[in-house]
Amino acid sequence: MAKYAELGQELQSLLRLKIAPIGIKFFPEIGDIPKDFEVMGQDCAVCQVIAKARFHEKAVASTKDAATICNMGGAVLGLCDVTPDVADGTRNAGRWAKTVEATKKLAQNRMMIEKGKFQAFGVAPLKIMSVEPDVVQVWGIPVQMLQLAYAHIWDGSDNLELSTNGHGASCYETLAYPYLTGKVRLAIADIGDRRFAWAGDDEMICGFPLAHLERLTNNLRETYTPPAIYKYPYEYYMFAIWPKAVERMR
């Protein structure tokens, strides 16, 4: 795991991240959880497991029976079924959206990991993770996400995707989606991340399968090397040429 720890630390240094990149691992059986992972002892949401790992800088895991307090968060990871009243929009009508139909739409049109495929998942900063993660998440401010976008397109890859309805940022958009598609994905930390998992007002998330970690880190390093123009923090152009018309008005 030393390789991933080194890449994670380099990524943190290049982006000037306050909080280290994290890895997320799915476990087919509860018994697969490594001994160094602290297993959550109470019901929780997926975003809360992620928050505990990233803020406390420890390895944290949860089983399928605990991490379903947020039904949709657990369901997109295949830990449980979507309950009928969430699926049909009746539970959250007037809360998530104005009408039952509008609310129902929020629970549809998203890919989900096959139910029962995994019994647990674990989260840890890459620098201490003892197992190979399936997905990596980088949390940061918009300009740091911009840097990852530049790193992503540096080798000719397609535009970095961000598509949101304001729900499922850390559980679906940057975890289940990258796992299922193999793609890099951006998200705005959502209301659940902020209300229950301590996300800051300015935080965004980039999630990607482990296979992209070395590529993105290498590309980011290259974008900082002249003649590339992307080194962060940016050099400000302090002195502009004044238009002649403006000069005459001074």
**Domain for residue 85, yes or no?**
no
CA distances from 36 to 22, 72, 125 (A): 16, 28, 13
Structural domains counted in the chain: 1
- What would the mean pLDDT of 176-185 be, rounded to a whole number? 98
Confirm whether pTM is higher than 0.95: no
**Domain for residue 93, yes or no?**
no
Considering the chain, what is the average pLDDT of its residues? Answer: 94
Residues 6 or more apart from 87 whose CB is under 8 A from it? Answer: 104, 107, 108
**Domain for residue 39, yes or no?**
yes
**Domain for residue 103, yes or no?**
no
Provide the domain limits for residue 207: 2-80+115-249
CA distances from 56 to 22, 27, 48, 135, 194 (A): 12, 22, 12, 19, 17
- Phi-psi bin for 16: left (phi > 0), alpha (psi -120 to 50), beta? left
**Domain for residue 88, yes or no?**
no
pLDDT in tens, 42-81: 999 999 999 999 999 999 999 999 998 999 999 999 999 9
Distance CA 167, CA 72 (A): 9
Of 93-97, 210-214, 238-242, where does mean pLDDT reach its minimum?
238-242
Task: Return the beta strands (E) in 43-167 as ranges.
Answer: 60-63, 120-125, 135-140, 161-162
What pLDDT is attached to residue 154? 98
**Domain for residue 98, yes or no?**
no
Count CB neighbours of 28 within 10 A.
Answer: 11
Residue 249 sits at φ, ψ, to 5 deg, of: -90, -10
Find tokens 């992307």 and name the residue.
Answer: 230
pLDDT in tens, 126-153: 999 999 999 999 999 999 999 999 999 9
What pLDDT is attached to residue 109? 76
Nearest C-alpha neighbor of 205 from the set 161, 158, 141, 147: 141
Nearest C-alpha neighbor of 167 from the set 40, 45, 52: 45
Q: Which residues of 161-195 are buried (b: 16+ CB within 10 A; e: fewer)?
A: eeeeeebbbbbbbbbbbbbbeebbbbbbbbebbbe
Distance CA 82, CA 88 (A): 10
What pLDDT is attached to residue 240? 63
Strand partners, 63: 120
**Domain for residue 102, yes or no?**
no
Residues 6 or more apart from 69 whose CB is under 8 A from it? Answer: 43, 44, 45
On the question of pLDDT at 250 being above 70, the answer is no
First to last CA, the chain: 62
**Domain for residue 230, yes or no?**
yes
Distance CA 112, CA 72 (A): 10
pLDDT in tens, 159-173: 999 999 999 999 999
pLDDT in tens, 3-49: 999 999 999 999 999 999 999 999 999 999 999 999 999 999 999 99
